[in-house]
Structure 1
Amino acid sequence: MSLIGVVAVLVVALVAAGIVLLFDRNSANERDARRGQFDQVARQTVLNLTTIKPDTAKEDVDRILAGASGEFKSEFDGRQDPFVSVVKEAGVTTVGKIIESGVQSEDGDTARVLVAARADVSTPDNSQNGPRDFRMRVTVTDADGTMTASKVEFVP
């Protein structure tokens, strides 16, 4: 084989390798972006769950339900009004903060995300004030481009 033939084969091989690497990088970027979306939905769900105030309890519960689906939504269905009444009557305020989160696993249109959160609790008589730490596993489901929390579990 002549020198020109060897150079031509090397050029074709390098171009092919460059194309493969470019597609691989794009695929990794898309995967990372999707995982970031799953993570963000889980973080917002936990923040919504840990931030409830007596004067906005109805809106707080509506916000939780707006991002819920499946088993998680079923747990709230029909229980919103009693929950709101208890929050208003007790006068307890909780303000959540996300400490850390990360995607535990992903399977097609579903991801399980671990979220560590802290809720600062305030009671009218100050008897139970203080931080409460939570670890939750949030299952996030993507249904036709809309991501919602379909299951929330406390993790010991």
Structure 2
Amino acid sequence: MIALLVAVSLLAWLDHRNSVRDTRRTAEIQAARQMVLNLTTIHPDTAKQDVERILADASGEFKAEFDGRIDPFVGIVTEAKVITNGEIIEAGLEREDGTDADILVAARSMVTNGDDAQPTPRDFRLRVTITESDGRYTTSKVEFVA
């Protein structure tokens, strides 16, 4: 009887641990998907807000790189009348440790600018590093992968 009780307790604990892990992985993947969608969806009339949305979920190296380029970026997007509409094709966990996870994201952005009204597809494969701090998931690094 005691062995049965121990076995049931162990199974319950393992199930809980797996559930917590799965919930965390889902949140990490969703955070990466949202960041890539934000990065690949920018419009000239909302460029400043689009960039602010990106920075709101940025941290570490990624935030430092992006932070100083806001005004030039917004200026270029507005002047060239660049419109990008992104979509996520697929995303999956590559690696995770205590506070960070690398998520691979495949995305497509349809790009239009003032000179060409015909949208052109651009495909991206990105490794997005998601960092968890105080229950919040932010993007600390973004890199292109082949």
Sort the TM-score into its range (normalised by shorter chain).
Answer: over 0.9
Same amino acid, percent of matched pairs: 58
Segments of 4+ in structure 1 off by > 6 A?
none
SS in 2 for 1:142: strand
**TM-aligned CA deviation for residue 15 of structure 1:** 1.6
Per the alignment, residue 121 of structure 2 pairs with: 131
SS in 1 for 2:122: strand
**TM-aligned CA deviation for residue 55 of structure 1:** 0.6
**TM-aligned CA deviation for residue 77 of structure 1:** 1.7
Q: Does 1:18 align with 2:8?
A: yes
Per the alignment, residue 86 of structure 1 pairs with: 76
SS in 1 for 2:58: coil
CA distance in 2, matches of 1:12, 1:115: 48
Q: Specify which structure has the higher proportion of strand.
A: 2
Per the alignment, residue 50 of structure 1 pairs with: 40
Per the alignment, residue 103 of structure 1 pairs with: 93
Cα-to-partner distance string for 1:102-140 (whole Å, 9 max, x where unaligned): 111111011110011010111223277321110100001
Query: Could you say what the CA RMSD is over the residues aligned between the two structures, in angstroms?
Result: 1.1
Give the TM-score normalised by the residue count of structure 1.
0.90
SS in 2 for 1:129: strand
Q: Does 1:143 align with 2:136?
A: no
Instruction: Please identify the structure whose Cα radius of gyration is greater.
Output: 1
The counterpart of 2:104, out of the listed 74, 95, 114, is 114
Give the TM-score normalised by the residue count of structure 2.
0.96
